[in-house]
Structure 1
């Protein structure tokens, strides 16, 4: 469990690095417009690649910290046994969707690599490289969802109570 937690935290840190990369690419793009000699072709595309990688790599640690948006208006009012069943079903659906996202993201990377798909910009970046961040993030999200699903089914993670949920509202 500790190894998985470290893996999810590392993905969160990598997301932070990609956010800094997004900032750097935007700044380089701005400076390149002001000083054409310093222009970097494809800086806008690289900013988008970094943003996508940051978003997907942040998903698993965000899930494990309980910071994804949960709609608990109905669930928190259900009696114990029904509530547990609904929680397990919701986690099962989440696991299925995260698994499907991981599968199709990995398949997209493989197809882009196989067909030598490149970006249409001047930089002609092989698309499997920026797509890799999305695929890794989606795979880690599916793994985090699997861990959480197993925890909920074993009863180790209690569902959020109404008081816990109101404490999270900012």
Structure 2
């Protein structure tokens, strides 16, 4: 994220980065749990029980928390066959339209996620498995991910609107637009510079 980005956006990125790291560690732990469960079944004929259920919860929660950092890094897939041939103002208009559509979609998802969570709390729902997990626990984390995603969209939209009203078209593109070819080359170059270089053989 550019150093010129608003403080609110940088704050959101820090939270999103933490959420993405925790989600990634959770997926790693869930995968090892499945490996251990499979090995126990094969070698000892026993099962830990609930490994697949826990993995499902972790996947849902980590996915919800991965969306914000993907948006902030401008990494969502966009069709840019014609996009790159338009003028800067047209690209900004398309970027704003895309963000508006995304806000409507995520707003509906968040609304229905809250409905699912509220029902689980109201009826004290538990999973119909031996673990009997209270559903409000994983659903709260899942809903929080979507709520934070929606908050990220709203803050980005407000920042983009402020830049748009100031006539800073390029700044809007740098905030919510598609990565340019030069930016992708620069990112790959920086990534290559950070990789450890192998020692020459003697």
Q: Sort the TM-score into its range (normalised by shorter chain).
A: 0.7 to 0.9
Counterpart of 1:47 in structure 2 is 55
Unmatched runs of 5 consecutive residues or more in structure 2? 1-7, 165-170, 189-202
1:26 Cα offset (Å): 0.9
Counterpart of 1:157 in structure 2 is 172
Tell me, in whole angstroms, the C-alpha distance in 2 between the residues paired with 1:77 and 1:121. 54
1:91 Cα offset (Å): 0.8
Counterpart of 1:134 in structure 2 is 142
In our comparison, the structure showing a higher alpha carbon Rg is 2
Aligned partners of 2:120 and 2:136 also within 8 Å: yes
Tell me, in whole angstroms, the C-alpha distance in 2 between the residues paired with 1:161 and 1:93. 19
Aligned partners of 1:109 and 1:128 also within 8 Å: yes
Unmatched runs of 5 consecutive residues or more in structure 1? none
| CA 164–141 in structure 1, closer or farther in 2 if over 3 Å, else same | farther
In the alignment, structure 1 residue 101 sits paired with structure 2 residue 119:
no
Query: How many residues are matched?
Result: 168
In the alignment, structure 1 residue 77 sits paired with structure 2 residue 85:
yes
Tell me, in whole angstroms, the C-alpha distance in 1 between the residues paired with 2:59 and 2:108. 22
Query: What is the alpha-carbon root mean square deviation over aligned residues?
Result: 2.3
Counterpart of 2:19 in structure 1 is 11
